[in-house]
Amino acid sequence: MSGARIVVIGTGYVGLTTGACLAALGHQVTCVDVDDVKVARLAAGRVDILEPGLEELVTRGLAARRLRFVVGSRQAVAGADAVYLCVPTPMGAGGAADLRAVEAVIAEIADVLPAGCAVVTKSTVPVGTAQRIRALLGRDDVAVVANPEFLREGTAVADFMHPDRIVVGSDDQAAARRIAGLYRDLSAPSVVTDAASAELVKYAANCFLAMKLSYVNAIAELCDRLGADIVSVTEGMGYDRRIGRAFLKPGPGWGGSCLPKDTHALVQVAESVGFDFSLLTAAIVENIAQRDRIVAKIAGAVGGSLAGSRIGVLGLAFKAGTNDLRDSPALSVAAMLAAHGAEVTAYDPAVREALPGMTVVDDPYQVAKDADAVVVLTEWAEFTKLDWGYTADLMQGDGVVDTRNLLEPRVIVDAGLSYVGLGRPRPARVALPG
């Protein structure tokens, strides 16, 4: 289906990327939001989301008149071939996904959707949501299709335009094939299935990655206790094609807008059908424990007690390449340090706003001034280029805790500092002649 008329409801991270990329594929796309100020900024080509290539795609779509931004869904859906739901589905009570935004949109547009249109869920939604939407619509002439997104923040545009796979599911297979056809210019395999299977794919994939991260964090802790090197261990694992190299880097825990809510949601889905998903529950528990272990490492680097210490934090976003602080493990660790009585000064190249419990500065060297320890919490490449000799001169203590194994340990030690990584042997300081 080329040149389809598509409406994308919601211009957040997923919605804006989806709309801009579908326009780049040659479709006529209308993006809808309830925030008139945001819509005006987007209509002028101003994108506030930090995502490489996204602003350029929006600008090109606007110039080609294949992309527009409006307020209000009811008028926008008139004549649409497909309406994509890209509204928030945050973690609700007990960990289940909160579908109130989805349900509100359906209530608003149900009676004005054109016959033959497909309602497409792009937001991550629990298994059974397509069936619930069909019931809320109360219409046999409108199909409901699940088309989960697999976008990583920092590489979302590339992920959309060069996907590993496209998953489309519906109990109306003709509608599923029509939606799959929207992506025919992308060279990627398509999985066309039923709605429940498509909905479960996203949760199954994200939760598997979360368990993989929790596993490698646990292995890094074992390396610390056994004197092994996690870099060598994961290198040896990664050559195994059954395992692969991706998601084998230890860190301060997984976070962001997807993994925390998706893991809890799948546990809730499992419980709803009487299945104790203890494997996934253990990964969640391990993720919480990892943050406690990180705080303990930092306390050890300043002599055992964080009370009254000065800690410099490098990185607050949940990953490099984004300004997203949602469920950021870096932010959680910084908050825990403050709760233990530390004075926290933080720097992140993409974060400038004031945050409770810490001082946010605009120069990475400011975090080192009079610090008892400096902690790397987000893997920004610029931290590898810091002058660590100068940093050492600014510090009061000598501890560098690298929770991303981003830095070269020997560089840190040669600067006169003490290096603590995750699962990495500490290099000895070389005694100077004389």
Instruction: Walk across the sheet containing 190-193 and list its strands.
Output: 67-71, 28-33, 5-9, 82-85, 118-121, 143-146, 166-169, 190-193
* 223 included as an active-site residue: no
Strand partners, 419: 400
Q: Which amino acid is at 405?
A: N
Contact 130, 146 (CB under 8 A): yes
Beta strands in 79-205 (DSSP E): 82-85, 118-121, 143-146, 166-169, 190-193
Could you identify the residue written with the tokens 């409108």?
142
Total residue length of the chain = 434
Catalytic member of 31, 86, 207, 258: 258
Helices (H), 227-342: 230-238, 259-272, 278-301, 329-339
Alpha carbons within 13 angstroms on the beta-carbon side of residue 203 total 24
Closest CA to 126 of 105, 95, 168, 159: 95
Q: Which amino acid is at 258?
A: C
Strand partners, 169: 146, 193
Contact 342, 356 (CB under 8 A): no
Task: Give the largest CA-CA distance in the chain.
Answer: 87
Q: Which long-range contacts (CB under 8 A, 24 or more apart) does 413-416 make?
A: 415/388, 415/389, 415/391, 416/389, 416/392
Relative orientation angle of helices 230-238 and 195-226, to the nearest 10 degrees: 140
Contact 73, 108 (CB under 8 A): yes
CA pair distance 254, 342, nearest whole angstrom: 23
Closest CA to 351 of 381, 377, 310, 322: 322
CA pair distance 189, 167, nearest whole angstrom: 9
Q: Which amino acid is at 137?
A: L
Known catalytic residues are 258
